[in-house]
Structure formats: C-alpha cells, structure tokens
Amino acid sequence: MDEDEATSRLSAESLAAGDPTGWFERLYTEAERGESAVPWDRGSPHGLLVEWVAAHGVTGAGRRAVVVGCGYGRDAEFMAGLGFDTTAFDISPTAVRVARERHPGSPVDYRTADLFDPPVAWRHGFDLVLESMNVQALPPQLRSGAFAAVGELVAPGGTLLVIAAGRADDEEPPVAPPWPLTRAEVDAFAGSGLTPLRVEEIIDSSGVRRWRARFHRAA
C-alpha cells in the first residue's frame, strides 16, 4: 500500500474513534506484516540534525539526551554515537521492539512511553531534547499540550532542537497528517520556560519548507 494512503486511512480512522495517537501502533504493526510502509523509515539520521551537530561541534560526553517519537531509532543511534546517554521513546510498542531488534547491543534506552504522560523522572531531565517531525503528526487540538510536554523534558541549562515540516501562515493545512507547522506554532515550543535561540526556515530546491529551531532553558 502507498505510504501516504496508509497514513491517511489509519489516522482518519483513529481520529474518528477519538484516539488521535492510536494510528501509530496500527501503522507499525501493519508494516511488520508487510501490509503498509512507515513513511519516515529511513536508514540514516535526519539530515538537518546531522548538519546542526556538525556546525556546532556537538558532543555528548557526560550529558543526557532524549529522542521524542523515536520510531525505529535512526536519530537515537546517532545521538548515542556522539556520546550522549540516550533515552528514546515512542508511543508504539511495536516500533520500540523493532528498534531494539534492529540495533542489538545498542546503548540506547528504548522505552514505550506517552509524550503526554511521561515518567515523572524525565521532567527537566535531559540536556538535549530532540523533537523531529513528531508534533506535526498530531491534530490541532493536541498541539498546545504537545509543545508544553516536549519543553518539560529540557533540563536547566539544556537545549531543545525542533525539526519540522513547515507551511506559511496563509497556507491551508492538508487533510491528513503530517500537518506542517507555521512559524507561530514553532515559536510555541518556548511556552514552557524556554528561550528561542534561533529559528531557521529552510526551503530546498524543490520548494519543500522545513523548520530547524533551537531553544534553551536557563540554568
């Protein structure tokens, strides 16, 4: 089945059933059976993450990182390779299990967890929080809570890096996810006591718009 078709079908069914995040587990289980494909299943970490790490000389020795909505673990493994004590979580148990299977012996602590109800110990617990292309998959009624929940993971003195698909303020959102974020929505990540350091709008040669934004919590 076409990736976009599966995403549209499953997300619509979950929204209609009042379970706006339930389609993630259904997508991963269908993918495991060979009935669907996971659109974000790539063999390498996100390019905008790799570029940012190289540009800033980021290393993780003695620091903790968490990857939100880790999927099969491509970004989490990259973060662990930089020396971060890395936790990675996803709401889909199947995604977490497959991530562990794909990376045997990995130092990453893969967990099944809900962004809206994370372990208490995670609050303000991580020096680097990576939110890459996840909140955009949530419907508008969950967005404000998601912005705050992501920010609450950032430790004093820590950094939040957000990577997201983007759209102009006057551009209509698509019917099915992902729903690209506007600049105002990206700025909303600062609502949990974070300070925006830089928000980059990146438009590639084919006109695809992306955001890469960095936020900081005061020590």
CATH number of the domain encompassing residue 90? 3.40.50.150
What residues make up the domain containing 141? 44-216
- What is the pTM assigned to this prediction? 0.93
105 part of a folded domain:
yes
Helix (H) or strand (E) holding 6: helix 3-16
Count Cβ atoms below 10 Å from residue 180 Cβ, excluding itself.
20
152 part of a folded domain:
yes
9 part of a folded domain:
no
Which pLDDT value is given to residue 4? 65
Report helix angle 23-32 to 93-102, nearest 10. Answer: 40
Neighbour-count burial for 142-162, b at 16+ CB within 10 Å, e otherwise: bbeebbebbbbbbbeebbbbb
195 part of a folded domain:
yes
39 part of a folded domain:
no
Which ranges of 69-168 would DSSP assign to H, the alpha helix? 74-81, 93-102, 140-151
117 part of a folded domain:
yes
3 part of a folded domain:
no
204 part of a folded domain:
yes
Which pLDDT value is given to residue 3? 53
Q: What total of structural domains would you count in the chain?
A: 1
pLDDT per residue, tens digit, the chain (219 aa), is: 445 677 778 877 877 787 878 888 999 999 889 888 888 888 899 999 999 999 999 999 999 999 999 999 999 999 999 999 999 999 999 999 999 999 999 999 999 999 999 999 999 999 999 999 999 988 888 888 999 999 999 999 999 999 999 998 888 888 777 889 999 999 999 988 999 999 999 998 888 999 999 999 999
100-104 own/partner pairs: CB under 8 Å, 24+ apart: 102/72, 102/73, 103/73, 103/77
Which pLDDT value is given to residue 2? 45
